[in-house]
Amino acid sequence: MRRVVPLALSGVVAAQAGAAELTVSVEIPRLNVAEYHRPYVALWLERKDAGAVGTLAVWYDLKLKDREGEKWLKDLRQWWRRIGRDLALPVDGVTAATRAPGTHKLVFAADRAPLAGLAPGSYELVIEAAREVGGRELLRIPFDWPAAAPSTAAASGEHELGAVSLTVQP
Amino acid sequence: MSRMLNRAALALAIFVLPLSAQAHRAWFLPSATVLSGNDPWLTVDAAISNDLFYFEHMPMRLGDLVVTAPDGSTVAPQNASTGRYRSTFDVQLTQQGTYKVASVSSGLNARYRLGTESKRWRGSAAELPTAIPAGATDVEVSESVRRIETFATLGKPTLRATEPTGVGLEFVPVTHPNDLYAGEEAKFRLLLDGKPAAGLEVEVVPGGIRYRDRLNELKLVTDADGGFAVTWPAPGMYWLSASVRDEAGTIANARRSLTWVATLEVLRP
């Protein structure tokens, strides 16, 4: 996973290299609340009818002493049930610090886990956000892997997540 | 006039007492059932009440409390206290996996006649041989065995702590008791002395009774394998209970009454 600031450039690089990849854009809304904490967010892939296949990213509070941040990972209820409780944390390249309100773009290359070795089929990108003293929201975006042609799909959250989009590059 | 009142009061008492004795429910209420992290703690309330899950009647006594860790060992509860309406205690979760919190108690009741007098006795199996005088007649002994449980899991659910002992009325998960979600079906089994407890009625009552007019209980019956299935109508805490009477206990010529109770949490998917 790498964070890509210039999206256009990323597209160019991908096209040149001819490498399949997933690009996810996640908006964390700015909320006008008395006590704000950045949400915990998990992004993972599920195969239709076959459950979770792998985590793309988990953002949680890594700075607390004694790994206290892990205590709240169970609030990412679906991710915890599907994948989280089976993982030894932290996971290199997957777990990362929480992010500020704004739009975050993430690119996942096809030759790295969990996309490497992903069987062709119908999948869903699942995004779950849970905020301390706030709410929880989960969005799903279906996609086919590998893509026959570049495709983009989007979903929109109502309270804990803003606009989310997924671009699949063949 | 006063005589009539007394009679009315007596009739009322006879009518009301058995009902209220049945209506009381014993339960544990865990602070959480699905936990993550390095060193979380579980806090559990324990009470006997009418409505679920409100402490409004009596505390559950903690003398028969057994907390089983994921590796099968017994861990000591901490900070235990018993107040007017509830008991409470903490469990430090030092192992990954499923913990079982249980109160397993058994006791004997005896009724007998000594000459013209009716006598009653309560005690343990060890005390029974010396409890009833030699000249007693019409001796009736009954044994009551009660198992009250709840479960909590740190990390990945495990099954070691939920293995049955083969004694009494016991709950055996098919679906893990800390992997329950509204709208999904969960399957469990009940065993009586290690064998399928077939044909038992299982009552499933959602918590939050104070804020609704109907109990909304589900009544299920165990199949030939002791199995029963619950499709959870909504997230929340649920109280499950079943009981059975037989004469298969360890006390000769004694009737045995067994009760199983569990508190299970159902999450929103």
Please tell me which of the candidates A66, A73, A80 has its beta carbon nearest to residue B39: A66
Q: What is the mean pLDDT of residues B46-61?
A: 96
Q: What is the mean pLDDT of residues B68-76?
A: 98
Instruction: Find the chain A residues whose C-beta atoms sit closer than 8 A to any C-beta of B.
Output: 66-68, 70-74, 77-78, 80-81, 84-86
Distance from CA of A163 to the nearest CA of B (A): 22
- Whole-number pLDDT of residue A18: 60
Token digits of residue B74? 């017994």
Residue A63 to residue B40: CA distance in whole angstroms = 17
A&B contacts, CB < 8 Å: 39
**Taking 90 as the threshold, does the pLDDT of residue B39 lie above it?**
no
Instruction: Find the chain B residues whose C-beta atoms sit closer than 8 A to any C-beta of A.
Output: 32, 34-40, 155-157, 179, 181, 267-269
Burial class (CB in 10 A: 0-12, 13-18, 19+), B190: buried
Burial class (CB in 10 A: 0-12, 13-18, 19+), B226: buried
Give the rounded percent of residues in chain B with a pLDDT score beyond 90.
Answer: 83
Q: pLDDT for B11-36, tens place per residue?
A: 443 333 333 344 599 999 999 999 99
Please tell me which of the candidates A66, A78, A80 has its beta carbon nearest to residue B36: A80
Q: What is the mean pLDDT of residues B73-81?
A: 98
Distance from CA of A28 to the nearest CA of B (A): 22
Chain A residues close to B39, C-beta within 8 Å: 66
A128 C-beta neighbours (distance < 10 Å), count: 26
- Whole-number pLDDT of residue A49: 80
Using DSSP, state whether B92 is helix, strand or coil.
Answer: strand
Chain B residues close to A90, C-beta within 8 Å: none
A87 C-beta neighbours (distance < 10 Å), count: 17
**Taking 90 as the threshold, does the pLDDT of residue B110 lie above it?**
yes
- Whole-number pLDDT of residue B267: 97
**Taking 70 as the threshold, does the pLDDT of residue B7 lie above it?**
no
Chain A residues close to B40, C-beta within 8 Å: 71
Residue B114 to residue B112: CA distance in whole angstroms = 7
Distance from CA of B133 to the nearest CA of A (A): 59
CB A69 within 8 Å of CB A156:
no
Sequential pLDDT tens for chain A (170 residues): 444 444 444 444 444 456 789 999 999 999 999 999 999 999 999 998 878 999 999 999 998 988 999 999 999 999 999 999 999 999 999 999 999 999 999 999 999 989 998 999 999 999 999 999 999 999 999 999 999 999 999 999 999 999 999 999 99
Q: pLDDT for B218-241, tens place per residue?
A: 999 999 999 999 999 999 999 999
Distance from CA of B231 to the nearest CA of A (A): 18
Nearest to A144 by CA among A166, A112, A162: A166
Chain A residues close to B35, C-beta within 8 Å: 71, 74
Quote the DSSP letter at residue B61.
P
pLDDT band (50, 70, 90) for residue B102 = very high
Chain A residues close to B157, C-beta within 8 Å: 85
Ranges of beta strands (E only) in B1-116 are: 25-30, 34-35, 41-49, 58-59, 65-68, 74-75, 78-82, 87-92, 97-114
Burial class (CB in 10 A: 0-12, 13-18, 19+), B231: exposed
Residue A167 to residue A147: CA distance in whole angstroms = 10
Token digits of residue B154? 């740190």
Provide the mean pLDDT of chain B.
91
Q: Please state which of the ranges B14-18, B37-41, B136-140 shows the lowest mean pLDDT.
A: B14-18
Choose the mutation target among B33, B34, B35, B36 for the interface with A, i.e. most A CBs under 10 Å: B36
Chain B residues close to A67, C-beta within 8 Å: 37-38
A2-169 domain in CATH 2.60.40?
yes
Residue B159 to residue B174: CA distance in whole angstroms = 10
Token digits of residue B135? 């000249």
Whether the ipTM is more than 0.90: the answer is: no
Q: Please report, to the nearest 10 degrees, the dihedral formed by the alpha carbons of residues A154, A159, A160, A162 taken in order.
A: 30
A58 C-beta neighbours (distance < 10 Å), count: 25
Residue B206 vs residues B157, B201, B237: alpha-carbon distances, Å: 23, 16, 6
Residue A113 to residue A44: CA distance in whole angstroms = 11
Domain boundaries, chain A: 2-169
Residue B109 to residue B123: CA distance in whole angstroms = 7
The reply to whether residue A85 touches residue B155, judged by beta carbons under 8 angstroms, is yes
